[in-house]
Amino acid sequence: MKIGMLQEGEIMPGVSYAQRYEEMIREVALADEMGFHCWGTSEQKFSPPRFTVSAPEVLYAAVARETRNIKLRIMCSVLLQWNHPLIVAERLATLDIVSGGRAELGTARSNNLHTLSTFGVEPKDTKPMWADSLEVLAKTMASPNVSHDGPYWSFEERELVPYYVSKPHPPIYVAASSAASCKEAGQRGIGAILFESYFGFDYMQGCIDAHAEGVAEGTTMLPDRVDTMGLYVASAFCDRSRADAIEKASDVVLGYAGFIADLYAPLAKNSSYEYLDEHMARFLENQANMDFLVSGTPSVMVGTPDDFIERLKDLEARGIDEVLLRIDGMPHDQIMESIRLIGEEVIPVFKDDATSPKMEVATS
């Protein structure tokens, strides 16, 4: 089990963007020191105060110079018409160089109607546009000389400059929220990151199993396939006392759950996102129920180091290879203490267990 961290520059009242960015850099430096596997932030547009990182590649360059070992994973680059895949590849290669080969790439097709409408993208077009962009990126992983003739992108041979220093290339992942997307990731040989898994452990298990089915087919679009099944934990906070952890984190947990409800309810009515609709009812009924969110959904992990260890061992047994903890939206000193506590008391348990076989878990 690998433990990583995701942040999105969430700002609290009285905190400027500049202050929050400096705080994040210090937080990543501590996560690096504490043995976190990877760190990243999503590409978000026009959505303060919860999301303030609109140009992650610029921030990553600063982080690269303050860290030594932690992988820097873009989580995620939105592969739609405002991000030409060759430009994404150029930025990724540059990050790979300045980080000493620590760059990784997460991809996404966006779940934000506000952003899609701003750039004139129809929801029904996001999946085929993402797929065409991914084809281009896969080609860049095989050779610096790339040409393409697809439904969205078409160009004669061009040389990618600069080129990746990672061997054979930086790994690629996709943010997935359905079993179908997880299976497709396995078939493509790219890692899957299950995002916003507020629909419960059974729903998550279905996605894990689907990914395993895709992996078992043994196909890949990359020279070096990635079989990782990851889980994004949308709200995470660790403290010495469970009661204190819940009290400190309640505002960010409930706020993020409310944001997801507002985001997904209308999105689920759109073509190509309709799979969400049937799963929304239970979540919408419980979006303000802290007990449900903490115990009934994989998307929230709040408690003591022992609580984290228990949850992570369960996730590992179910087939999750890594978790990405969103530790954000709280005072800087509390975030630092949570990172330190996880690094000192949680991560070592899983480093010690790295060679242990996974348990068999019955699924419904």
Return d(Cα 152, Cα 342) in angstroms, integer.
Answer: 43
Mean pLDDT (the chain) is 91
Above 90 in pLDDT, residue 356? no
How do residues 132-175 score in pLDDT, each as one tens digit? 999 999 999 999 999 999 999 999 999 999 999 999 999 999 99
Give me the DSSP letters along 184-237.
HHHHHT-EEEE---TT-HHHHHHHHHHHHHHHHT---SSSS----EEEEESEEE
pLDDT at 274: 60
What is the number of H-type helices and E-type strands within the chain?
A: 13, 12
Please name every residue paired with 77 in a beta bridge, in sequence order, or none if there are none: 107
Q: What is the DSSP letter of 101?
A: S
> For the chain, how many residues are written?
364
* Domains by residue range for the chain, with CATH: 2-352 (3.20.20.30)
pTM assigned to the model = 0.91
Terminal Cα distance for the chain, rounded: 23
Which burial class, exposed, middle or buried, applies to 202 when counting CB atoms under 10 A from its CB (0-12, 13-18, 19+)?
A: exposed
Return d(Cα 278, Cα 69) in angstroms, integer.
Answer: 42
How do residues 233-265 score in pLDDT, each as one tens digit? 999 999 999 999 999 999 999 999 998 888 766
Main-chain dihedrals φ then ψ at residue 233, nearest 5 degrees: -100, 110
Least confident of 2-6, 146-150, 199-203: 199-203
Residue 352: which pLDDT band, with cuts at 50, 70 and 90? Answer: low
Return d(Cα 136, Cα 120) in angstroms, integer.
Answer: 22
